[in-house]
């Protein structure tokens, strides 16, 4: 639907593609056309269009023009049409009345408004415009609309008072609307509002290559919308309101299946309180069981000086490759009551100031503490996948997980924290009530000299946790397991070069633990017994070379056996068991894979060893939970030399 593009250098030194109008002789508006102003002349030509519609060419109406009445398309509401506008500044007076519609231009289905470029065709609100007057408002439930190549000026300096409903464009549950290559600025309300509710939301929309500047509220306010894209726009704001902001007014107003991608925000002054993207329910008890926000894909956006990204009460959403650069306050990635979602490869760069309201702040926050849960699910669970994210120079806590139960947290990096006297904590990663979490292969590093922050990894009140192969170094205390209250599904946290007891079986219930590892805990390589957990205390080991890694932990084995095991057969264990396997191989294609789960024919791959050379011997080990099965599967022609079980 987009027209040819024309490049124009804007005052902000930004270049955007431009919708451009081309003059035609059909149904032309001229100074001789009947009507007191441009709006009246367009009405005259509009009425003359045949039922099949056509093009209204107003390109020759240049210079200062006016539309002093609302809804200039009212006389040709059922006609497909294209309105072409030239190099002109059109003052839109508007009239107070009952909404909708209340706008100078109200496109219906199959109608297009095409200007000559963001710097050429200007539609501006008249001074003193009353509230609820919009420059453009789509007719309710219209379909197939295009708006391009315009500059919309809300004239905020001369429209006094709150006037928060004076939007640049309001889309009234349209279906198939394309807004592109526009410049919208100085509105008291939103730049663009996507409206709807009940059985009808705005659907199949596209907003792209739009510059939003000095907007009174949201650049794009999403009240109720679905199946659309907001991409490659620029939001420049000094107003403390989010750029791309979901704001449902009731449980009937939803936002789902929306992509927000490739947008850039630049915030200054009061605008530093604004998020680039903020989605979710409006809050309150009505929104805890019926999420207003689902199935969004938010990726490759850049927030410069804004407060980053936030979601509240949202589900089935993907956040990936977003960057928060120099956020002015804490929690630039804040996700409260967000579940069944993916967070991948997002970056906090340049740190964030301390949030003085709370006295502490974090780079990333995931909070599913009751009542922040959805669909009446279990308290403190959110089942998210959190991988490949990076927090650099965050305040307080690099990444905080409060009730993030059922989540997998892997391959994330926390690198240094701010040294700020007003920060209350100073944790790399902090987990509270993280039931059933898998914490694996993360890097938590403080390489400042001297080390500035206190604790690398803190876990408290968390049950059925899997903790393994994380790199934690350079902190005053690298790891704190606070209890009682923690229990472990699996603990495999090896040291850098410790050759013993690196793999531990499942821990039984009620193994609350307290263990603190610090620089002064031991003078040489050795073990520290954790106290306060009764007869099932586990042991942690510390290296004295400055790395201070948590390694083996768990109750001692009491039995060893060498069962007869064959490839392809399944074997059940009664107790938590470590299985050590030795194989020999004759070809480089030989491979052995171990599977284990509760099925009598397990299919969950645990580990594998491949030959990698023509001949040789290899060993590997894995754990089997109480009552579970395991089996070994061969590829090629390896020979099973020995199997040892420890229980």
User: Rounded distance, CA 459 to CA 480, Å?
Assistant: 6
Q: Answer yes or no: are the C-beta atoms of 92 and 123 closer than 8 Å.
A: yes
Give the chain's radius of gyration (CA, Å): 31
pLDDT digit string (tens) for 527-557?
Answer: 333 333 332 333 343 333 333 333 333 444 6
Give the DSSP H or E segment for 178.
strand 175-185
372: helix, strand or coil: coil
Confidence (pLDDT) at 433: 82
Upstream peptide bond of 157 is cis (omega within 30 degrees of 0): no
According to CATH, what is the number of the domain 560-646? Answer: 2.60.120
Confidence (pLDDT) at 491: 56
**Total residues found in the chain within this entry:** 647
**Distances 526 to 377, 494, 537, 540, 603 between C-alpha atoms, Å:** 44, 14, 16, 9, 38
348: helix, strand or coil: strand
Q: Answer yes or no: are the C-beta atoms of 196 and 253 closer than 8 Å.
A: yes
Give the DSSP H or E segment for 237.
strand 234-237
Q: Which of 41, 134, 44 is nearest to 95 (CA)?
A: 134
User: Rounded distance, CA 270 to CA 240, Å?
Assistant: 5
- Classify the C-alpha dihedral 175-260-366-549 as positive or negative: positive
Confidence (pLDDT) at 416: 78
pLDDT < 50 regions, the chain: 1-18, 22-25, 98, 283-288, 354-359, 371-372, 375, 483-484, 494-556
The domain ranges of the chain are 1-164+181-192, 329-556, 560-646
The tokens 């789960």 sit on which residue?
Answer: 597
User: Rounded distance, CA 217 to CA 164, Å?
Assistant: 7
User: Rounded distance, CA 530 to CA 507, Å?
Assistant: 14
User: Rounded distance, CA 183 to CA 108, Å?
Assistant: 22
Upstream peptide bond of 326 is cis (omega within 30 degrees of 0): no
Pairing of strands 577-585, 616-624: antiparallel
């Amino acid at each position: 639907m987009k027209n040819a593009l024309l490049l124009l250098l804007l005052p902000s030194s930004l270049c955007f593609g431009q919708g451009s109008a081309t003059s035609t002789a059909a149904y032309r508006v001229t100074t001789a056309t009947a009507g007191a102003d441009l709006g009246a002349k367009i009405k005259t030509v509009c009425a003359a269009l045949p039922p099949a519609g056509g093009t209204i060419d107003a390109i020759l109406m240049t210079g200062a023009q006016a539309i002093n009445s609302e809804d200039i398309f009212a006389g040709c509401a059922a006609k497909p049409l294209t309105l072409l506008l030239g190099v002109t500044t059109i003052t839109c007076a508007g009239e107070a009345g009952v909404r909708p519609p209340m706008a100078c231009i109200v496109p219906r289905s199959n109608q297009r408004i095409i200007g000559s470029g963001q710097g050429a065709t200007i539609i501006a609100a008249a001074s003193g415009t009353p509230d609820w007057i919009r420059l453009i408002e789509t007719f309710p439930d219209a379909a197939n609309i295009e708006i391009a190549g315009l500059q919309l000026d809300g004239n905020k300096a001369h429209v006094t008072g709150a006037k928060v409903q004076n939007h640049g464009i309001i889309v009234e549950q349209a279906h198939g609307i394309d807004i592109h290559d526009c410049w919208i600025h100085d509105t008291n309300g939103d730049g663009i509002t996507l409206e709807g509710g009940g059985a009808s939301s705005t659907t199949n929309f596209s907003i792209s290559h739009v510059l939003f500047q000095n907007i009174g509220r949201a650049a794009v306010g999403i009240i109720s919308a679905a199946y659309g894209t907001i991409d490659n726009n620029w939001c420049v704001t000094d107003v403390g309101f989010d750029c791309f902001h979901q704001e449902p007014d009731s449980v009937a107003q939803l936002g789902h299946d929306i992509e927000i991608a490739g947008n850039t925000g630049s915030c200054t002054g009061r605008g530093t309180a604004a998020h680039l993207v903020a989605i979710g329910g409006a809050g309150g008890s009505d929104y805890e069981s019926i999420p207003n926000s689902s199935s969004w894909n938010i990726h490759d956006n850049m927030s410069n000086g804004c407060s980053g990204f936030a979601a509240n009460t949202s589900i089935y959403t993907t956040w990936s490759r977003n960057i928060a650069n120099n956020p002015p306050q804490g929690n630039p990635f804040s996700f409260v009551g967000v579940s069944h979602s993916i967070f991948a490869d997002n970056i906090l760069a340049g740190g964030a100031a301390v949030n003085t309201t709370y006295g502490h702040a974090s780079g990333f926050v995931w909070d599913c503490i009751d009542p922040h849960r959805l669909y009446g699910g279990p308290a403190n669970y959110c089942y998210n996948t959190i991988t490949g994210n990076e927090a650099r120079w965050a305040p307080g806590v690099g990444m905080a997980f409060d009730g993030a139960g059922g989540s997998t947290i892997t391959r994330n990096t926390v690198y240094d924290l701010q040294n700020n006297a007003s920060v209350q904590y100073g944790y790399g990663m902090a987990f509270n009530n993280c039931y059933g979490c898998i914490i694996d292969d993360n890097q938590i590093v403080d390489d400042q000299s001297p080390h500035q922050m206190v604790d690398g990894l803190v876990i408290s009140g968390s049950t059925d946790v899997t903790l393994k192969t994380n790199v934690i170094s350079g902190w005053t205390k690298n790891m704190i397991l606070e209890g009682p209250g923690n229990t472990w599904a699996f603990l495999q946290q090896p040291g850098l070069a410790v050759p013993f007891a690196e793999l531990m079986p499942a821990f039984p219930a009620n193994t609350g633990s307290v263990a603190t590892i610090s620089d002064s805990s031991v003078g040489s390589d050795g073990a520290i017994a954790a106290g306060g957990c009764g007869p099932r205390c586990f042991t942690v080991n510390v290296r004295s070379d400055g790395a201070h890694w948590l390694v083996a932990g768990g109750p001692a084995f009491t039995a060893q056996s060498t069962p007869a095991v064959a490839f392809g057969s399944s074997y059940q264990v009664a107790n938590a068991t470590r299985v050590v396997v030795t194989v020999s191989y004759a070809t480089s294609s030989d491979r052995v894979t171990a599977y284990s789960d509760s099925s009598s024919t397990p299919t969950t791959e645990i580990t594998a060893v491949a030959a990698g050379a023509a001949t040789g011997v290899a060993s590997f080990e894995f754990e089997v939970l109480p009552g579970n099965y395991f089996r070994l599967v061969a590829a090629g022609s390896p020979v099973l030399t020995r199997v040892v079980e420890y229980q």
